[in-house]
Amino acid sequence: MAKKKTSRKPPYKGPDRLTALPSELFEKFGDHLDSTDVLKLRLVNRTIHAKTTKSFSEKFTRSLTIETSSDTKASEMVLRLLGCDVMANTVKVLRLVHSSSSIVDAERDHDFFVEVMGKIRVSLERVSIVGDSSRAQGDTVLSTAPYQLIRALSTSGKSLSILTLSNVGVDHSLLQALFEAQKTSLERLDIEKSMLQGGGLSLLRVFTGDGSRLKRIYLTEVRESAHPMQKVVFAPKNLLKAVRNPITNRFEDYKLQGNTAWFMGTEGVKVGMKAVFG
């Protein structure tokens, strides 16, 4: 009696799951990992690749988080990763996690972020700058690393769609310079629990004036400066949410939220918003 033929699955034609993470990146990691770590990384790589339909390398390289640290090795690793073509051509989301306890070195931060921007070869979808949430209310200070990142963005020539600031301090002139450079690309601005020094209604007019492509502005729970001489643009608790009408191209859907939405006083809010949004 003839043996019944059993069907066999065709050989796997996809990427090698054990090397789904580009070998170029493994070489960059090699100096920082021992053999056990590499094996663990391969296992995680294989598991994630098996559960995803898109290329794992694209998922892995689309977003990059940078943490401020006095350890120069962390900065070197970021630059080494961006030295890989697979990273430089796919990173679209940049996230800076800033600690108030990190050592301030303005020159080093400036050179670092200029080099980061120079290595990224694509337009950025989102840049998020997240500060130290453990700081006390009113203790948000103007920080060097966020300042240098925004400055590098302003002069990089790269387009940016979304900017998010959380728990950081930023001078209004720096933010205005970034917006002028990104006027034709920036579509969304979210500022949460942050301190903007200076500005006022003139800053809002810049954000919403001729040529602006902003579709959404969200200002919420903005912290006031503890320093009595620093002028703060927006005060705490859900000040403003504004959405541009795509038909009329005007910010028509705007509203004040919260019980303490103060901006030159309650009446000043109404007058100011009317002056800016019409």
Query: Count of CB atoms within 10 A of residue 47's CB?
Result: 12
Average pLDDT, the chain: 68
pLDDT given at position 105: 72
Alpha-carbon gap, residue 276 to 70, rounded angstroms: 43
Least Cα distance to 192 among 164, 171, 150, 170 occurs for 164
- At 61-79, the pLDDT tens digits run 788 888 876 566 778 888 8
Query: Count of CB atoms within 10 A of residue 230's CB?
Result: 16
CA 41 to chain centre: 26
The residue-averaged pLDDT of 83-110 equals: 80
Question: What tokens appear for 123 in the block?
Answer: 């337009």
pLDDT given at position 107: 81
Alpha-carbon gap, residue 45 to 253, rounded angstroms: 45
The residue-averaged pLDDT of 55-59 equals: 52
pLDDT at 261 over 70: no
**Is 273 or 101 the better-scoring residue by pLDDT?**
101
pLDDT at 110 over 70: yes
The residue-averaged pLDDT of 128-140 equals: 63
The pTM of the full predicted model, rounded to 2 decimals, is 0.66
Q: Report residue 46's pLDDT band, with 50, 70 and 90 as the boundaries.
A: low
Q: Report residue 237's pLDDT band, with 50, 70 and 90 as the boundaries.
A: very low
Report CA-CA distances (Å) from 33 to 27, 60, 169, 227, 237.
10, 18, 36, 46, 45
